[in-house]
Amino acid sequence: MTKVGIVGGTGYTGAELLRLLAHHQGAQVKVLTSRQESGRRADHLFPQLRGHVDAVFESPDIERLAQCDAVFFATPHGTCMQMAPQLIDRGVRIVDLSADFRLKDRDVFQRWYKQPHTAFDLLQESVYGLPEWERFSVANARLVASPGCYPTAVQLALMPLLEMDLIQLDGIIADAKSGVSGAGREARVGSLYCEATDSFKAYSVSGHRHQPEIEQQLALYAEKPVGLTFVPHLVPMSRGIHATVYVRPKDPDYDFQKLFEQRYKGEPFIDILPAGEHPETRSVRGSNVCRIALHRAPDRKTLIVLSVIDNLVKGASGQALQCFNLMFDFPETQGLEAPPLAP
């Protein structure tokens, strides 16, 4: 049985990790940390886990965490890079759900996250955990940086097009909407029910910190810089991301439907819908699935790619568990087989 630690288990992503790991046949949560909730049972804080999880929160301790085979960091940015070097030196493998190891340029990290990067050697070594792109590297990594939620939805929509050099690299638009859980569990005025319900708004239009992450990865697929306009929106639902991506094909008559079906054939968590269909966020709720559909604008000059995920699963904890499965030679789908929840 693989021993697992979760640092920062009181947020939505920590709770989602506990839910998914509860039915993982090869992993056992040995250490669950929270300074504020130390001594409290996890199922007291999250009643939905009653009968499935008996872990008790404890204060973070390197010696305790070093007894684990793997540690997930579901923490604010800046925590993992402080603790990761000590754990990796002790042979612990890490999956980080924060942004600490996503951006390879530490100056870019400092500009967007307002703190210096303190683990540059590990930053260079870390593997970006999008299995559909880096499956082999993830499997052999000591430290995996689990992608952000918006970046996951946008990258999966664009990756086949950029790999094959089929679109213009300037003027790409990603218009993305997220449920309120994307803002985290911490109390904020903008996340209050009366503030978020019956409303719809864009935010961080002049610059969102997921933009450099998306641009970094798209440039890898295209092997050159990519021009992207990314605009996030908040919608009054708990879970889900819907990314509508607009691109200009070099050949408008290319069979993009066939391209996506072939590129993602055999991918356990990518579902390419039949031509003309429209994916819904509720169709992926609670699952690790990304559903994608392709449309052509009436002018035939614009290809529109629709991509939906659950921001807490494929956009966070589910993808982290998918990477964990690869790292420890479990079936990639283990703990992630349950179908989506609807309604």
- The string of DSSP codes covering 220-232 is HHHTS---EEEEE
Ranges in the chain annotated CATH 3.40.50.720 = 2-125
User: Following DSSP, what letter does each residue of 17-60 receive, concatenated?
Assistant: HHHHHTT-TTEEEEEEE-STTTT-BHHHH-GGGTTT---BEE--
Looking at residue 62, its pLDDT comes to 97
The confidence score (pLDDT) of residue 192 equals 81
Q: Give catalytic residue positions.
A: 149
311 Cβ contact list (under 8 Å, min separation 6): 149, 178, 179, 181, 182, 239, 240, 241
Model pLDDT, residue 186: 75
Average pLDDT over residues 62-83: 97
pLDDT for 182 equals 84
Tens of pLDDT, residue by residue over 198-257, are 899 999 999 999 999 999 999 999 999 999 999 999 999 999 999 999 999 999 999 999
Backbone angles phi, psi at 173, to 5 degrees: -120, 130
Cβ pair 180, 238 in contact under 8 A: yes
Which pair of structure tokens corresponds to residue 197? Answer: 């319900």
Is the pLDDT at 34 greater than 80? The verdict is yes
The one-letter code for the residue type at 267 is E
% of the chain exceeding 90 in pLDDT = 91
Q: State the residue for tokens 């939505």.
A: 12
Q: Convert 300-336 to b/e letters by CB count within 10 Å (16 or more is b).
A: eebbbbbbbbbbbbbbbbbbbbbbbbbbbebebebbb
Q: What distance, in Å, lies between the first and last C-alpha atoms of the chain?
A: 35
CATH 3.30.360.10 location in the chain:
150-311
> Is residue 231 exposed (0-12), middle (13-18) or buried (19+ Cβ within 10 Å)?
middle
The architecture in CATH of the region 2-125 reads: 3-Layer(aba) Sandwich (3.40)
The pTM for the full model equals 0.96
pLDDT tens per residue, range 151-203:
999 999 999 999 999 999 999 999 999 999 887 777 678 788 888 888 999 99
What pLDDT, on the 0 to 100 scale, is given for residue 181?
86
Q: Name the CATH topology of 150-311.
A: Dihydrodipicolinate Reductase; domain 2 (3.30.360)
* Residue 338 DSSP code: P
Cis amide leading into 343 (omega within 30): yes
